[in-house]
Structure 1
Amino acid sequence: MTIGAIRILGVDPGLRTTGWGVIEAAGSRLSFIGCGSIETDAAASLAERLAAIHRLLTGLVEREGPDEAAIEETFVNRDPQSALKLGQARGVALASLALTGLPVAEYAANLIKKTVVGVGHAEKRQVAMMVRMLLPASTARTPDAADALAVAICHAQHRAARARGAA
């Protein structure tokens, strides 16, 4: 890790697929570390799927060694059942990160998109394209992994702005 750099884990929570992305931020310089997706078995019970998210996120934190984490806030979905399941997956992800001792920041989807793309209602493909531009070494192959990297980028930008404001 670069001196003065901070390692950030971004998480895009979901019951079926939880995206994750790790970057290092040193001032305004961002470096890609890794990304991927946690997939749960649709045939498994809800409890088993939530336990898998917890177990795999905890292992990811141990393996990647982030200093901080950031997670996307839940947006309101038209389907209440889907929103409830997403909320449960997000809750498990938040608890898993907090239980490892990481400070966890939360960002609204519109703020993440505005920070990364410049437009709060950007499409997923626009987010993925900007992530590739900001992190040329990125290997994000799924929208969930790209979204998680966008969460990490958003956190890097906003924590830097807070630090400048405090100085």
Structure 2
Amino acid sequence: MRVMGIDPGLRNMGWGIIDMDGPRLRHVANGVVHSVADGSKADLAARLSLLFQGLNRVIAQYRPEAAAVEQTFVNKDATGTLKLGQARGIALLAPAEAGLQVGEYAPNAVKKTVVGVGHAGKEQVQHMVRVQLPGVKFETADAADALAIAICHAHHLQGRVMRVAASNRGTI
């Protein structure tokens, strides 16, 4: 199964694609969709449109079968939190429009799944992404975070598959 992780951001939206074959995970691609270029200031609607179009291109190119998005945390700045929430809406909408089921995970749940510690630092998360996806290269922290979200979702999907199989065997 091909899984897409999305790290919402209004300026830079990270994305990562992995393939899941049972317990094995393999890196496919990762990157960032940018809503502004060269420091220009586009209006909010235009920026959201660029994010939506960019995610749609990634989905069309890599054809994931499942997607996951990190939940938004609340900032001290209410305006910034609201704008991030709108970008997160785009991160949920693009895969949903492509017919994908979309999982949502809190940042601490992603860290706990990938690192084993819910309050791990970015460096620890990036290290464990490299361990779980040997040979992976990512240019930005946003892409690394998106891969971590995809890994988290893959592990949760594996758990569901195992529970269904056990249920079908009558062991649950």
Same fold (TM over 0.5): yes
| TM, length-normalised to structure 2 | 0.92
Give the 3-state SS of the residue equivalent to 1:76 in structure 2. coil
CA distance in 1, matches of 2:146, 2:18: 10
Name which of 126, 137, 142 aligns with 1:128. 126
Structure 1: stretches of 5+ with no match in the other structure: 1-5
Name which of 18, 21, 32 aligns with 2:27. 32
Q: How does 1:107-122 map to 2 (within 5 A)?
A: 107-122=105-120
For the pair 1:8 / 2:6, whether they are aligned, the reply is: no
RMSD: 0.9
Name which of 145, 153, 156 aligns with 2:154. 156
Query: How far has the Cα of 1:10 moved from its partner?
Result: 0.4
Moved more, 41-50 or 109-118: 41-50
Q: How does 1:6-155 map to 2 (within 5 A)?
A: 6-41=1-36, 42-155=40-153
> Is contact 1:15-1:50 (8 Å) kept?
yes
Task: Report what 1:3 is aligned to.
Answer: none
Structure 2: stretches of 5+ with no match in the other structure: 166-172
> Is contact 1:71-1:106 (8 Å) kept?
yes
Size of the alignment, in residue pairs? 162
Percent of counterpart pairs with the same letter? 51
CA distance in 1, matches of 2:83, 2:124: 26
Structure 1 residue runs of 4 or more that deviate by more than 4 Å after TM superposition: none
Give the 3-state SS of the residue equivalent to 1:119 in structure 2. coil
Query: How far has the Cα of 1:166 moved from its partner?
Result: 1.9
| TM, length-normalised to structure 1 | 0.94
Query: How far has the Cα of 1:137 moved from its partner?
Result: 2.1
> Is contact 1:34-1:139 (8 Å) kept?
no
CA distance in 2, matches of 1:80, 1:166: 42
